[in-house]
Structure 1
Amino acid sequence: MLGAERRKRLLHEVRAEGVAHVAELAERLDVSPSTIRRDLSALESQGLLNRTHGGAVAEANSSLEPDRPQRSGVAPWEKRALASAAVRHVAPDSTILVTGGTTTAAMVPLLGAVERLTVVTNSLHLAGELAQHEDISTVVLGGYLRHREMSLLGHLTRQALEELHVDEAFVGAYGITGGGISGAHVDEAETDRWLLSRVGRVTALVDGSKFGRSGPVRVAAADRIFRVITDASAPEDDVRALRGAGVDVVRV
């Protein structure tokens, strides 16, 4: 692989993952760690990413997340299994907050089975899906539009939630560790963090691939998470740490 081609692929890997480590990149690209370090330094000098100890993160003005269409095709059966497990915890006559994401979106077709349910969301994508379920009362929080994710963010979003009582929030996550969940996009993660601080319980839907990955912004510390729904691939050490913090970890 030529150097220019390798660096192009390297940049794609960092932007897709948000946070990437030298050893993992070297294995994926089948080159030495020293080559990866040189390439990362070259890309940093062009302002395309930021070096960190042992790896790199995407440049602040670029996206840390894959596009929604790209993410929506990732492990659809696993997402559906997590969503199904989450919906089993939704009580009739309750009000829930569902934030944007391809995993939480998989809950929507299943929520119609819950009687007298109110769903609050700051995602226009989810609102459009919920509009097909006339039996679900839907409240859309206002805010400024993040076009990439079709999510509404900022102080108007927070102000709208102040008028509501929410029993439980269901969220996805860019990454999760024993310390809690984190986000990749600063504005979105900050809005999510505020929203979650105002609800009774927080349930996170995260597949095993999100464990051990940390985004630049903490969304919720472990002691703010009531439940994590994940799959069998979640690392046992992280699961044990979450349970030690009092989190109910459910494997599907």
Structure 2
Amino acid sequence: MFILDCYCAVGVFCGCLLGGDMSENFDLAAVRRRKIVDLVRVRGAMGIRDLGVQFSVSEATVRRDLKALDDEGIVVRTHGGVLMNSNVRVDLPNEERKAVGAAEKRRIGQAAIEMLSDDEVVFLDAGTTAHAVAAYAHQKSRCTYVTTSLGVANQLQAQGIVNFYMIGGSYEPVNDSFAGTLAVSALRSLSFDIAFLCCSAVDVGKRSISVASEVYAQVQKEVILNTRRRFVIADASKFKPNAFMRTSQFDQITGIITNRELDEGTIAKIRDADLELVLV
């Protein structure tokens, strides 16, 4: 497999991947499964035949997708179809999430920026809380910012930040970002001083962080491997069991930045895990 890393004139860093049909097939299957989850979430239930028509694939392919999703616990297979697993958290569309907890996210964003030192290399994840961090990036304009998120990149540009890179890949509409094999390949050649990671759920009982996208989970795992300090940025509503795909355990992150409305029991469990906890 040959990987060509290219810097584009507009300041976008992208990994161009040649060859490797198996990786491409994995990406296509992962994207299709994410779309199946979105569709079932909206409609409540879907039949195998209808899904095959919707995605122009065979019923055998749909069954493999549903088995994979069922094995992950995000859906429940039925005779001839599928239902959502009501115990699993699935992200709302990006525009809807922007309005949820906006004040709390602004406080988290300000606290995150205040942690930075000049000239650090900072990864900003894809998510509305990362947008809030980017809104204060002008306060640390000497840092270098890297993101996979179109929204974060636009916010950085609006703040007058010129020293930033955007990772290319396959487009993920649910969080307006890029993911997949191309993104992971590009991230593999980078290293970060600090990363601010978004998530769909923080499970303090299992001491785990998870996201709603199988494709984007691979991006976040790669960032975690290549970062010195790793902070989860999440408002108090995210502290509940299970999203689709686990990306890390508590012992793989440095700390959590969240709002002060978090309940005392959850705060105690985070501190018991020996994580830095920033309450804003």
TM-score, normalised with respect to structure 1:
0.75
> Gapped runs of 5+ residues in structure 1?
1-11, 17-41, 59-63
1 CA distance for matches of 2:100 and 2:241? 17
Q: Which residue of 1 aligns with 2:212?
A: 184
Q: Is residue 211–residue 235 contact of structure 1 (8 Å, CA) maintained in 2?
A: no
Q: Is residue 232–residue 251 contact of structure 1 (8 Å, CA) maintained in 2?
A: yes
Aligned-pair distance for 1:180?
2.4
1 CA distance for matches of 2:155 and 2:115? 20
Cα deviations across residues 201-250 of structure 1 (Å, max 9, x unaligned)? 11111111111231121112101111211112223333222222221011
Higher relative contact order (CA 8 A, sep 6+): 2
Which of 143, 151, 155 aligns to 1:125? It is 151
| 1:203–1:57 Cα change, 3 Å | closer
**2:255 pairs with 1:227:** yes
1 CA distance for matches of 2:111 and 2:101? 16
Which of 228, 235, 239 aligns to 1:200? It is 228
2 CA distance for matches of 1:46 and 1:205? 40
2 CA distance for matches of 1:247 and 1:150? 30
Q: How does 1:232-247 map to 2 (within 5 A)?
A: 232-247=260-275
1 CA distance for matches of 2:236 and 2:174? 25
Cα deviations across residues 135-192 of structure 1 (Å, max 9, x unaligned)? 4411111211113322111222122123322101001210102202111111112221
Q: Which residue of 1 aligns with 2:279?
A: 251
Aligned-pair distance for 1:50?
4.1
**2:176 pairs with 1:150:** yes
Deviating more after overlay: 42-51 vs 128-137: 42-51
Q: Is residue 212–residue 245 contact of structure 2 (8 Å, CA) maintained in 1?
A: yes
Counting aligned pairs with the same residue, the percent is: 27
How many pairs does the alignment contain?
209
Q: Report the RMSD for the aligned CA atoms in angstroms.
A: 2.6
Letter in 2 for 1:49: L
